[in-house]
Structure 1
Amino acid sequence: MNWIFHDSHNLYYRNPFGALECDSIVTLRIKITCSDNIEEVKVRLCNENVEGKSNEEVHMNLIHDEDNIKIFEIKVKMINKIHLLWYYFIVKINGKIYYYGNNIQGLGGVGHIYDHTPLSYQITVHKKNNNTPNWFKHSIIYQIFVDRFYNGNEKDIVLKPKRDMIIRSNWSDTPSYIKDDKGRVIYFDYFGGNLLGIIKKLSYLKELGINLIYLNPIFEAASNHKYDTGDYKKIDSMFGDEDIFRKLCDEAKKLGMSIILDGVFSHTGSDSIYFNKEKKYDTIGAYQSKDSKYYSWYKFKEYPYNYECWWGVETLPNVNELDESFQDFIINSKDSILKKWMSIGIHGWRLDVADELPKEFIQNFKKEMKNIKDDSILIGEVWEDASNKISYGELREYLLGYELDSVMNYPFRKIILDFMLGEINALDVHKNFMKLYESYPLHHFYSMMNLIGSHDVPRILTLLGDSPEEHSLSEKEKREIRLSDDKKRLALSRLKLLTIIQMTFPGVPSIYYGDEVGVEGYSDPLNRRTYPWEHENKEILKWYKKLAHIRNKYSIMRTGRWISIYPEENVYGYIRMIENSKDVFGEDSQDNLAVILINRSENSDIDLTINVNELVGWNVEKLHDLIEEETVDLKDGTLHLKLNKLQGVILMKNV
């Protein structure tokens, strides 16, 4: 099967590894084991970007010919333009054409022989000197859905209740939506969480190990989730006001924490100062008159009743992000929304539905944001591989240097969740992670927002407890179902393994509020239950604190080199290392080495033998288990280890 062979993960066959800068050179090699006459070997190159594609077939040179093993080579220079380079090989033997390209899964590494045009290998070609803020790589994010985190008012008084809403009198009630017969929400429920509550819990977040807080939308809006912005210039009165938000930024900064906001710029609310369909505002909105200064922001099909809206939700009219007055309002003007909130003290933004924002808008937003604060961070909501995402027929350039610093790493979540639930094995985990590692520019790979929970997916504990499939349950059943004691123990054991990976993997861990204390729930609104103050699961909270402490203490877990290993189908792991006193980015650091392993099996202890010296080229005699706090001896550089069922280890050389 491998008589034609190329491995994009092996430096002999592709050097350098992974994403490349514009104008750089890559060496490609292919090995052919064959006694027949090889008439021709070519590589087909396709430079793809948003302006178009260019294809060429280039002859490869024979550099080795011995014992029927022939090696062909070519050096390819990247064009001086951000793009994706796709390649595959064409081999002609005795008049027959063979193709060699990416494997059927498209994961890179060892490829496949085809008798037709194959899947191509990808090389991501990014901006020269492309980087991301270093401070962000050393962060741990905590995501807060404000209404459900904590009410900081005395006697739990709810700030300035609005019409058409339900105030929950019991903090532990189950959230729900009141809908009409067409499925439209007519009443939102509120629990009273606010910005003052976050200020009062900053010490809790500090103790947890957090240094970056990501807030779901906080601007004035009719709903509890606030993704239907009513006024970008105002904090929602139920959360507080501008003064209290400024205080939050100041108090967080004193504790070494930064704040980032959710920027919802692909649409507004219909009940907004800009659209004003419900006539709640004194201004003339786009819905009321074509003479409105906001009219050009929106896309009317038949004025005023038929307008373009987000995924058909009529309360979320889409905006034209390329409209000059809209971009001035959000980005460019002296008192723009971007500048207003950056000046108050935030350290960046998360862009909602980045796929639906034009590249020009994101580029302009990032450029102006960096002009204001050059080390600010821009994160995009992207659910797929962000290196080759096609949205609305256009290849996106999220990670090529001019747009995003990071994306929400949903592929990371899917990979480790699928592994834990038995959908894939350790080799599959390795291949899928290597695909991201190979495709993402290095700075971005180490800046991914590595989440296992968010406001858009079911609670991680519910999924890890083998709960019934959500689609099989009625609304009533979904609200009432809770994990049994046995299933909760299983879920907690699995969660501990997932968090070992999350806290030691390249990228930035993100904790969705309440996951660290065992909150359960299916999809929205059940994944937005309140934080259970005074009813926390202390076992998992202690675990989170321990792992966050390990990550924060040892820079190797943040910017050390990463080597993926898969010693057994139920055991996945990797090595983190810093050598020659420099981390991956050339920053000064202490030489160190760590081995991380998890055994997902519920039933079997597994004996492992791993030659660590061979993998890292070091002489390693002892490793210290940071979880059990005991020493593990290596024999001739080989690790002999028994991993109990559902056990994970973090073994470090220098402690």
Structure 2
Amino acid sequence: MSYICWARRVGRATICSMSPALPGRQKRRSPKPILWGEHFGDARQWLQADVEDAAMNYRGFTFPLWGFLAKTDIAYEPQHIDARTCIAWMDNYRAGLSHQQQLRMFNQLDSHDTARFKTLLGKDKARLPLAVVWLFTWPGVPCIYYGDEVGVDGANDPLCRKPFPWDERKQDGNLLALYQRMVKLRQRSLALRRGGCQALYAEGDVVVFVRVYQQQRALVAINRGEACEVALEASPLLNVAGWQCKTGSGDIREGGLLYPRFPRRYG
């Protein structure tokens, strides 16, 4: 049996004196403990030192995604980044982690300590499905803050902690259905749960990446802008017969080229 231990960061002095003792203590209690750290900043120094097994991935996932889709930063100030900057940010962060650490990182769109992502989107709420798809397809463990799956909104604490809307008439049924589809897709895909990740295209409003595990492939295309066509360079990663579209829209043609015909602000 394995279990998860949570290490909350309450100050650097506490970190330095407490953290080195935690892993050994927990591993003596169970052969497979998982020590998860709560970080708003860069968690890699503790992960690289094996003080923690995984951490909240604000810096390597949440914040770049906010900048690209919601045009805001951690201070809720305007931040406009393009696809290339977003992917470079994400890739540079995970480059400092082992593959197994990447797969254990705690990915989220928001949390009890931030405004709800739906609220951050403002007038761009049509981009919310893009973020959900990204959450379930990027390396790491997708974490759903309660209520996100039914469209709960709210500004920063305490407004982000409002009660769950149990009345189904107040829930976003289409959004919930998307979450359910993505959960099932991830459960059935070894590529999404265990695979490596390679960005194939990142320009302007469009991000395309592929998850690879042995012979399995999962190709993901995110477009925050107008409908467009994108051509990918030929790659062995795209040499797969019988691609199937699982959500959104798109078309893969001969020669390893992707020409997704995205609906406006949907993926």
TM-score (ref. length: structure 1): 0.37
Aligned to 1:642: 261
Letter paired with 1:600: R
Q: Which of 599, 609, 623 is the matching residue for 2:243? A: 623
1:205-284 alignment runs, 5 A limit: none
**2:39 match: secondary structure:** coil
Q: CA deviation at 1:637?
A: 2.4
Matched, 1:607 2:242: no
Q: Distance in 2 between matches of 1:642 and 1:430?
A: 21
Instruction: Report Cα offsets for 1:139-168 as digits up to 9, x if no partner.
Output: xxxxxxxxxxxxxxxxxxxxxxxxxxxxxx
Letter paired with 1:623: W
Could you list the structure 1 runs, at least 4 aligned residues long, displaced by more than 6 angstroms after superposition. Answer: none
Let me know the Cα RMSD of the aligned residues.
Answer: 2.1
Any gaps of 5 or more consecutive residues in structure 2? 72-79
**1:573 match: secondary structure:** strand
Aligned to 2:54: 406
**1:446 match: secondary structure:** helix
Aligned to 1:561: 196
Max radius of gyration: which structure?
1
* Greater percentage in strand: 1
* Greater percentage in helix: 2
Contact 1:565 1:573 in 2 (8 A): yes
Alpha-carbon distance change, 563 to 463 in structure 1, aligned in 2, over 3 angstroms: same
Q: Distance in 2 between matches of 1:358 and 1:405?
A: 15
Instruction: Report Cα offsets for 1:533-560 as digits up to 9, x if no partner.
Output: 0232212111111111111111100111
Letter paired with 1:415: P
Q: Distance in 1 between matches of 2:50 and 2:240?
A: 42
Q: CA deviation at 1:401?
A: 4.0
**2:235 match: secondary structure:** helix
Alpha-carbon distance change, 355 to 381 in structure 1, aligned in 2, over 3 angstroms: farther
Contact 2:5 2:35 in 1 (8 A): yes
Q: Distance in 2 between matches of 1:430 and 1:374?
A: 36
Q: CA deviation at 1:400?
A: 2.2
Alpha-carbon distance change, 631 to 644 in structure 1, aligned in 2, over 3 angstroms: closer
1:578-617 alignment runs, 5 A limit: 578-579=213-214, 591-601=215-225, 604-611=226-233, 613-614=234-235, 616=237
Q: Distance in 1 between matches of 2:11 and 2:194?
A: 29
Aligned to 1:14: none
Aligned to 1:381: 38
Equivalent residue pairs, number: 255
Q: CA deviation at 1:626?
A: 0.6
Letter paired with 1:348: I
Instruction: Report Cα offsets for 1:366-407 as digits up to 9, x if no partner.
Output: 2111111122211111112222xxxxxxxxx41124311111
1:154-173 alignment runs, 5 A limit: none
Q: CA deviation at 1:573?
A: 2.2
Q: Distance in 2 between matches of 1:592 and 1:456?
A: 37
Alpha-carbon distance change, 607 to 631 in structure 1, aligned in 2, over 3 angstroms: closer
Instruction: Report Cα offsets for 1:158-217 as digits up to 9, x if no partner.
Output: xxxxxxxxxxxxxxxxxxxxxxxxxxxxxxxxxxxxxxxxxxxxxxxxxxxxxxxxxxxx
Matched, 1:570 2:194: no
Q: CA deviation at 1:414?
A: 0.8
1:298-317 alignment runs, 5 A limit: none
Contact 1:621 1:633 in 2 (8 A): no
Q: CA deviation at 1:605?
A: 0.9
Q: CA deviation at 1:360?
A: 4.2
Aligned to 2:74: none
Letter paired with 2:63: K
Contact 2:200 2:232 in 1 (8 A): no
User: Identity of paired residues, percent?
Assistant: 27
**2:42 match: secondary structure:** coil
Q: Distance in 1 between matches of 2:257 and 2:162?
A: 47
Alpha-carbon distance change, 615 to 421 in structure 1, aligned in 2, over 3 angstroms: farther
TM-score (ref. length: structure 2): 0.88
Q: CA deviation at 1:615?
A: 5.4
Q: Distance in 2 between matches of 1:447 and 1:627?
A: 25
Contact 2:114 2:160 in 1 (8 A): yes
Any gaps of 5 or more consecutive residues in structure 1? 1-344, 388-396, 467-486, 580-590, 649-655
Q: CA deviation at 1:632?
A: 4.0
Aligned to 2:99: 442
Q: Which of 532, 535, 545 is the matching residue for 2:165? A: 532
Contact 1:514 1:531 in 2 (8 A): yes
Contact 1:573 1:595 in 2 (8 A): yes
**1:624 match: secondary structure:** coil
Q: CA deviation at 1:568?
A: 3.0
**2:144 match: secondary structure:** strand
Q: Distance in 2 between matches of 1:566 and 1:578?
A: 19
Instruction: Report Cα offsets for 1:233-278 as digits up to 9, x if no partner.
Output: xxxxxxxxxxxxxxxxxxxxxxxxxxxxxxxxxxxxxxxxxxxxxx
Instruction: Report Cα offsets for 1:457-500 as digits up to 9, x if no partner.
Output: 01111111x2xxxxxxxxxxxxxxxxxxxx4xx41x21110111
